[in-house]
Structure 1
């Protein structure tokens, strides 16, 4: 027979079990809310030929000076963190690269980065043979223009742009993208160094940022052309224009109309060719605009 103490033991066990069931359930720790996405940065980084490297330089009381080889670089930010913006040339080979940085009172240091290969598309076009196989006269003109434009592209004004988020200079369909390898009449040429936007002749072209006009001309390949200096090695170029309503030295505000779409130079129809140059490297304009 069971002992007298067996019943209280069973009762106690039942009470304990009931008590355990009565305890409030432990609440799981609330899931952490996802961090908000970082604010948009301009230009967007792309460590590829034709892209832009954004390299952190850390804190400094004054703006550091950064160089890619002998070329000064655009440095943005504040005393908490400075960032060097490096335009990567379309001809840059994949692999290791570096810039040099010097802050007042500090020794120069090396900041490395790595360029990743990118394959751009190809496009075959048929144009007037005289724009591919140049006559001696046209070749001489091209050489003169190339020398002049090298001086334009070397423009560097110390003022840093107030902003780097650009507006598209003309509405329209993108008819050709940056980096496209073009083959004219079966002959390969350099990759496309800008963005083509299809628009009717006479459509106003507007400045994507504040800028100063540094060159206005009519060139063999580019036709009617205007160059703008936005500061610190950031330039932009507008080609195949039908009208140029500015002169060198004019100051523009973002959104100002300053020229008109055309079909001058080597073209197959009216459109705007828009290029962006950073530290003398043509880079993809799409990195500066909304997707």
Structure 2
């Protein structure tokens, strides 16, 4: 009898984990700069979801239920948040707290810290161009949500660091850095379409890839760009090479992931998130 009770207890404890699909377990990290997975329930067709008046990625998980995968900006306050379902219904979810460490960087080129007026105009123009890329929302479904690492190499600077350049605070670190030698191939972590390339003041040589429904990767500081706008990339396709262009102290890859125009921690998508 005790063996039977033990088996029943194990089953009961395991049932909730089985009810929650793989994607939910992988991605649901509802903290500022993280991702919230919200259960939308069953429906015959994909619901439409908006968060902060921006469209949200929706997928059919395990062929049973629809889920919304919501990107949370670093500025999100812990506590209750809401999404809108099909334009009428409001669903709430809870955001927890997360502490991000500081990073202090010394740059030899002071222009990379306090640009002159001419460079400021360039930076504003480039920021607007990249913002438009982040705001794109295509109908395609992402090929995979457990991403491959874009380069072989250890993780260096994590997402969300409060950054100080030459003692002056600037925007938090909006991506994940990989330590890699110059010339290391950079591969698409999921299939997607190249929607922007350019050489930018801070980011250097840069590639944007749209994976579908507002899920967008940005790769910067490249030494070479091997793709052009409009190219369709398969998962694992080489899009460029690691470099140190733009505001960089040495060769590395800076990788951004954006969801519903919110920069989120790429470590979530490769199973390397730390609470």
TM-score, scaled to structure 2: 0.91
Q: Structure 2: how far apart are the matches of 1:44 and 1:62?
A: 22
The CA distance in 2 between the partners of 1:162 and 1:204, in whole Å, is 21
**Residue 288 of structure 1: aligned partner:** 269
Please report how far the alpha carbon of residue 40 of structure 1 lies from its aligned counterpart in structure 2 after TM superposition. 3.1
Partner of residue 60, structure 1: 43
Deviations 1:224-274 (A, max 9, x none): 000000000000000000000100000000011110000000011000000
Q: Which runs of 5+ in 1 are unaligned?
A: 1-26
> Distance between the aligned counterparts of 1:284 and 1:150, measured in 2?
18
Q: Equivalences for 1:1-291 in 2 at 5 Å?
A: 28-30=2-4, 31-32=6-7, 34-35=10-11, 38=18, 40-41=22-23, 43-77=26-60, 80-102=64-86, 108-127=88-107, 128-291=109-272
Distance apart, 1:174 and its partner CA: 1.0
What is the alpha-carbon distance in structure 2 between the residues aligned to residue 145 and residue 286 of structure 1?
26
SS at match of 1:41: helix
Tell which structure's C-alpha radius of gyration is larger: 1
Other structure's SS at 1:171 match? coil
What's the secondary structure of 1:123's corresponding residue? Answer: strand
User: How many residues matched?
Assistant: 261
How much does 1:160 deviate? 1.5
1:64-107 CA distances to partner (integer Å, 9 max, x unpaired)? Answer: 111113211101116631100100001112222100001xxxx7
Q: Is the 8 Å Cα contact of residues 143 and 211 (structure 2) preserved in structure 1?
A: no
SS at match of 1:99: strand
Residues 114-148 of structure 1, C-alpha deviations (whole Å, 9 max, x = no match):
22221101010001211011111111110111111
Runs (4 or more) in structure 1 with deviation over 6 Å come to none
